[in-house]
Amino acid sequence: MSAKTVDDLLAEGVSGRTVFVRSDLNVPLKDGEVTDDGRIRASLPVLEKLTSAGARVIVAAHLGRPKGQFDPQFSLEPVAHRLSQLTDAPVKGIDSQEPLAGEAAKAAVAELADGDIFMLENIRFDPRETSKEDAERSAFAQELAELTGENGAYVNDAFGAVHRKHASVYDLASRLPAYQGDLVATELEVLQRLTEAPSRPYTVVLGGSKVSDKLAVIENLIPKADALVIGGGMVFTFAKAMGYGIGKSLVEEDKLETVKGFVELAQQHGCRLIFPTDIVMAASFAADAEHEVLPVDELENGKHGDQALGLDIGPESAEAFAAEIAASNTIFWNGPMGVFEMEAFASGTKAVAQALTETGGFSVVGGGDSAAAVRTLGFDESRFGHISTGGGASLEYLEGKELPGITALGA
C-alpha cells in the first residue's frame, strides 16, 4: 500500500477546506532571528501548492525541546515572520501563550480566508505532543483535528520528525484523511536509492562528534557500502581503539570494543574503512587556539603534548577523502569533519563539501550539522544531488528502523 500524496489531495479539491500541515520548521535562531532558513524554504512548495489552490492551511511545527510548556526562547514567532517574508500567502497566528488548540485558535481558524496560512505556536508547548501515553497523545490529536472543522485533511511534510511517535506526526494521521507531503516523498525516494540499489562504488562519509550517535547506521551500512570514510570527533574513539595516543581529544571509552568490532565487520564484508592520516591538533577549544597538523600516529608529539585536542582532519586526509568521493558513483555524507563553525578548523568539512559539488556521482547530504555546514560555508545547494532536511530521521531509516510518521501515512 502506498500513501496518498498532496497531489491526490489537490485532485480531490481543497478550495474552502482547512488542511492541517505538519511541517519541519526547527531552525536555528539567534537574538530572535532565523539564522538558517533552509527548512522553511524546503517547506514552502507544499504550503504554496495548497494555498494557491484555495486551501486554508494550519501549519504546525516544533522548535527545540521546550519540555511541554510555554518558553519564549522556543516561540515560533520569528519563524512565522520569516515564512511571511518568503510567501505571498497571508501568515496569521495568535498570542503565543494561548492553548494550542483552544478557543482562540478555533476562532482564528474560523476567520481564515481561502489561501491563508495560520501558524500554531510550538507544538511541543503542549506536553501531550510528546507523551509516551497513547491516550494523552490521542486526546491532543483529536483537538488538533477538530481545528479543521468539517471536511478537513492532514498532510505530513515534516520528514525531520517522522521518526517520532508524536501526536501531530503519528496520531493525527488516523483522525483525518492523511496525505504524504512532497518533501517526505522526496526524502524516502532518496533513502531507498541509497539502501536498495545504489550505483557503485558507494561511499559513506561519516563525521560528527560521537560514534554513539551513529553506531546502528555504521553497522547497517558496512554490508551495503564499498567504502566508509570516518572523520570528525568520532575519529578519536577509533584511533584510541587502534592504540594511538589522542591527547585530550573527544573519546567514548565505552565504545572502544564496539569500534574494534566494526573494523572486523568491514573486513568480513569487503568494505574499506578509511581514516584520517593527519589531524589538526589545537591547544584548546577556541577559534584563535594555536594549532598544528600532526600525523595520526603522533598526535601527542606536538607542541602541546598529551594536552592537545583534535579539531579537524588534516590537509592530507582532506585530499584523500575528496579523491574517494570523486571516484564514487553514490555518496552519502552525514556529519562535519571538524569544528566548521571556527574558520581555523573548517578546512576538512569544506574539502568534503567541495568534492561533493564536483563529483559526477549522486551526492546526498544527510541533514543536521552537514546541511548547516553547507549553508554556513557558502556552498550553492543546487550543486548537491540532495540535501536532507532530517538528519535523525535519515539515520534511523538507514539503520533499518521503522519510522512511525511514515507508517501512519500507510507508506
Residue 368 assigned to a binding site: yes
For residue 213 the three cell numbers come to: 550517535
Residue 361 assigned to a binding site: no
Residues 4, 17, 22, 39: which is the catalytic one? 39
Residue 63 assigned to a binding site: yes
Query: How high is the mean pLDDT of the chain?
Result: 94
Does residue 368 carry a pLDDT above 80? Answer: no
Residue 124 assigned to a binding site: yes
Q: Give dist(CA 154, CA 300) in Å, integer.
A: 57
Does residue 214 carry a pLDDT above 70? Answer: yes
For residue 202 the three cell numbers come to: 558507494
3-state DSSP call for residue 21? strand
E-strand ranges in 152-274 read: 153-156, 178-180, 202-206, 227-230, 272-274
Q: Give me the pLDDT at residue 411, please.
A: 63
Known catalytic residue: 149? no
Residue 348 assigned to a binding site: no
Residue 64 assigned to a binding site: yes
3-state DSSP call for residue 367? coil
Burial class (CB in 10 A: 0-12, 13-18, 19+), 112: middle
For residue 86 the three cell numbers come to: 518568503
Q: Give me the pLDDT at residue 403, please.
A: 95
Residue 214 assigned to a binding site: yes
Does residue 1 carry a pLDDT above 60? Answer: no
Instruction: Please tell me the CATH code under which domain 6-182 is placed.
Output: 3.40.50.1260
Q: Give me the pLDDT at residue 319, please.
A: 98
Please identify which residue in the block is written with the cell numbers 532518496: 190
Q: Which helix (H) or strand (E) holds 279?
A: strand 278-282
Q: Give me the pLDDT at residue 254, please.
A: 94
> For 128-150, what is the mean pLDDT?
97
Q: Between residues 64 and 389, which one has the greater pLDDT?
A: 64
Known catalytic residue: 232? no
Q: Which CATH architecture has domain 198-398?
A: 3-Layer(aba) Sandwich (3.40)
Write down the domain spans for the chain. Answer: 6-182, 198-398
CATH topology match: 6-182 vs 198-398: yes
Residue 367 assigned to a binding site: yes
Residue whose C-alpha is closest to residue 204's, from 389, 346, 362? 362
Helices (H), 57-150: 77-86, 103-110, 134-146
pTM for the predicted model, two decimal places: 0.88
Known catalytic residue: 255? no
Quick one: what percent of the chain has pLDDT higher than 70?
99
3-state DSSP call for residue 153? strand
Residue 391 assigned to a binding site: no
> For 395-409, what is the mean pLDDT?
92
Question: What pLDDT digit, counting tens, does each position of 220-234 carry?
Answer: 999 999 999 999 999
At residue 408, what is the residue type?
Answer: A
Residue 24 assigned to a binding site: yes
Question: What pLDDT digit, counting tens, does each position of 49-79 carry?
Answer: 999 999 999 999 999 999 999 999 999 999 9
Residue 215 assigned to a binding site: no
> For 187-209, what is the mean pLDDT?
93
Helix axes 391-398, 182-195, angle to 10 degrees: 40
Known catalytic residue: 392? yes
Q: Give me the pLDDT at residue 260, please.
A: 94
Residues 54, 68, 245, 392: which is the catalytic one? 392
Confidence of residue 333 (pLDDT cuts 50, 70, 90): very high
Residue 310 assigned to a binding site: yes
Residue whose C-alpha is closest to residue 289's, from 233, 345, 350, 373? 345
Does residue 42 carry a pLDDT above 70? Answer: yes
Q: Give dist(CA 148, CA 246) in Å, integer.
A: 57
Q: Between residues 168 and 215, which one has the greater pLDDT?
A: 168
> For 303-311, what is the mean pLDDT?
95
Residues 210, 224, 272, 383: which is the catalytic one? 210
Cβ atoms of 27 and 62 within 8 Å: the answer is no
For residue 67 the three cell numbers come to: 519540555
How far out from the chain centre does Cα 157 lie? 13
Question: What pLDDT digit, counting tens, does each position of 79-113 carry?
Answer: 999 999 999 999 999 877 788 999 999 999 999 99
Does residue 326 carry a pLDDT above 80? Answer: yes
Residues 38, 160, 207, 368: which is the catalytic one? 368
